[in-house]
Chain A
């Protein structure tokens, strides 16, 4: 039944009709009518952030850990421009966000009004789609269409820019049939082509050196996609590796798990990718961190690529069997067809392959030399993992060495437990993301594995955690370096450490206290367990300043411009002589 209401009320009503429980936002002049409507209801809770970038990353953490879209509400001008980084981050990592930006009144658009910016122009290239709503009667349709676009197909961020006069204007709102909403031109393909899936299974039945290469698409397709992946892996007996974004879709505790692949992936995962005869890519996009040098990427394999985005197919790597569809549905179909042919895993046929993999595993590429006097960052994460693995734990990270160490040494058995900025590589993602995760899972243990440089980019959101009594644990591996930058300078730039050290660092313990939380510092490996216990036992937010070895390198590493089989292992003495002139120009 249609009901008359203001544009601002429509926004809140549409969010309520979509089942939204939380909004991450920050008010401002142009957004006041929406905030007023928000004030007069109690179904949706608003989390007040300290900076709009924080709101975006919180919404990403919320979305990634729940599978539901994250909602951001910001004002015009600087509110909108501050949201650009998380919008881009969400686009790169396919995270569903709805970002409502207020705009100056329609009659002032284009007049360089106070806090005016061309929001739809600025966000056009960092959203899946965006809208400027100039007529209140379009608002109900746009609101619900935005949810459809953000959450279906390859998910992504959608911006709805609403001028202040439209927020005040009266119009008719009626709740649409949300389940059956259709868009005239946007129709994502969900079911994979049957013949292609059949062909893929045929290749699996003949493969001798197969590998599953899975990505964030498996997480995005929901927990059932992970279930089907586990079933298919068990059915076939094939080894499984995953990208950074896909960690948790396949249990790290399973013997078929090879560890993460890519630039800082394990030796066995990367060598398996290089030497396989059949690569089964489920929901990954052949990102450059994965492929390394593309003209030497897995030279002797047939490649199957399952992706919901047709433009991902043959974009970077040419494949033999492309399958466009939702990975949950395609995996279920693969399981069904495989079962119809045989119930036997190809244990015997791939036994030599597993033997080869065992040799690679024996290299122990994640090994490191521990110390009794200094905390090694890998050791810190290992202890954190051991001491929390039986809890309901969610991990977020910032970007850099600590992120890669977390991916290597913290192990995930469930999907949606790992929140990290993969595509865009946004330093400052992890702290606000952990706040968003904690909002969604108030009783869970949420830890941001951070670096002291990254965490300072969005540090102020610790105050948000304090305000809403969100007991996030910020575990800072403090090496007083932008460690990954320092490592690259050692690799590529003659160890000239141009601006890659953290000088004038805050006293993180005092900082935590100043912000109303708890601070813990630890620099002695013998006291680490006790300090971690203290952190876990504290019922509120904690900043843990873990002083670690300053110049540890993150290895293994596939250097720029090198193929998988030229990976640098931890026992390499001098990393400064490995990359040639051509490799130096790469990122």
Chain B
């Protein structure tokens, strides 16, 4: 393994990254303390890493632990750096690269507001039914749907709603967990 055969992250001599970019989902177990999210986000911006999606919430109240699910886009070499740099943060307990470790379950929740009448409204309902979207709010001219699933499913549903009177969308970002009996 020699230096000249490897790509580099050095800012000193900028050689082209030859590795392909990959999308990975990281699960980060942290102390739920003030400023922890700023630490994580600050690390990404300071070192120039890209975040695709980030979800955070307290998961174990008694131990004051939070889980951050972060989707990053980077070369394999940078992905290793991201994991190691996250582990350097003092309140970070563990970092797991779910994508690298095998199959994981990834889900997202979206709230989607669609307005319309007549045939559009009927078509909206038929599609919502096909996607198993729940109606959580309705008026004579609008619906708010709740949809959970893979990000790709939500993307498809939103694309279908666009010509039918899509008003706005909110999404939670990805939450992910590994398959099987093992915990983090």
- Segment among B8-16, B100-108, B114-122, B166-174 that sits at the interface with chain A: B8-16
Question: Is A120 interfacial (CB-CB < 8 Å)?
Answer: yes
With both chains docked as a complex, state the minimum distance between the C-beta of B94 and any C-beta of chain A, in angstroms: 8
Interface residues of A, dominant DSSP = loop
A357 within 8 A of B: no
Contact of A291 among B10, B15, B31, B34 (CB under 8 A): B10
Which residue of chain B lies nearest to A186 when distances are taken between CB atoms in the complex?
Answer: B90
Q: In the complex, are the beta carbons of B34 and A295 less than 8 A apart?
A: no
Which one of A288, A292, A309, A316 has the highest number of Cβ atoms from chain B below 10 Å of its Cβ?
A316
Kindly list chain B residues whose C-beta atoms are within 8 Å of the C-beta of A317: 3, 6, 8
Residues of B within 8 A of A561 (CB): 13
Which one of B35, B77, B81 lies within 8 Å of A311 (CB-CB)?
A: B81
> Is B92 on the interface with A (CB-CB < 8 A)?
yes
User: Which residues of A from 116 to 132 have beta carbons under 8 Å from B?
Assistant: 120-121, 124-125, 128-129, 132
Q: Is the CB of A316 within 8 A of B39?
A: no
Q: Which chain B residues in 1-43 approach chain A with CB under 8 Å?
A: 1-4, 6, 8-13, 15, 31, 34-35, 38-39, 42
User: Which of B3, B31, B91 interacts with A297 by CB under 8 Å?
Assistant: B3
Q: Kindly list chain B residues whose C-beta atoms are within 8 Å of the C-beta of A288.
A: 10-13
Query: In the bound complex, how far is the Cα of B6 from the Cα of A423, in angstroms?
Result: 24
B87 part of interface (Cβ distance < 8 Å): yes
**Of A125, A183, A295, which one neighbours B3 at CB under 8 angstroms?**
A295
Any B CB within 8 A of the CB of A573: no
Contacts of A310 in B (CB 8 A): 84, 87-88
Is B2 a contact partner of A299 (Cβ separation < 8 A)? yes
Tell me, rounded to whole Å, the shortest Cβ–Cβ distance linking B8 to chain A.
5
Q: Does the CB pair A315–B34 fall under 8 Å? A: no
Cβ contact within 8 Å between A314 and B10:
no
| B12 lies within 8 A of A291 (CB) | yes
CB-CB under 8 A from A301, the residues of chain B are 2
Shortest CB-to-CB span from A291 to chain B, Å, is 7
> B2: nearest residue on chain A (CB-CB)?
A299
Q: In this assembly, does B153 line the interface, its C-beta being within 8 Å of a C-beta of chain A?
A: no
- List 23 A-B residue pairs with CB atoms under 8 Å apart, sorted by A's residue number: A124-B35, A124-B38, A132-B35, A149-B90, A294-B3, A295-B15, A296-B3, A296-B4, A297-B3, A303-B1, A310-B87, A311-B81, A311-B85, A311-B88, A313-B84, A314-B81, A315-B81, A316-B9, A317-B8, A318-B3, A560-B12, A561-B13, A587-B12
Which of A's residues lie within 8 Å of B, judged by CB? 120-121, 124-125, 128-129, 132, 149, 183-186, 288, 291-301, 303, 309-311, 313-320, 560-561, 586-587
Q: Interface residues, chain B, CB within 8 Å of chain A?
A: 1-4, 6, 8-13, 15, 31, 34-35, 38-39, 42, 46, 77, 80-81, 84-85, 87-88, 90-93
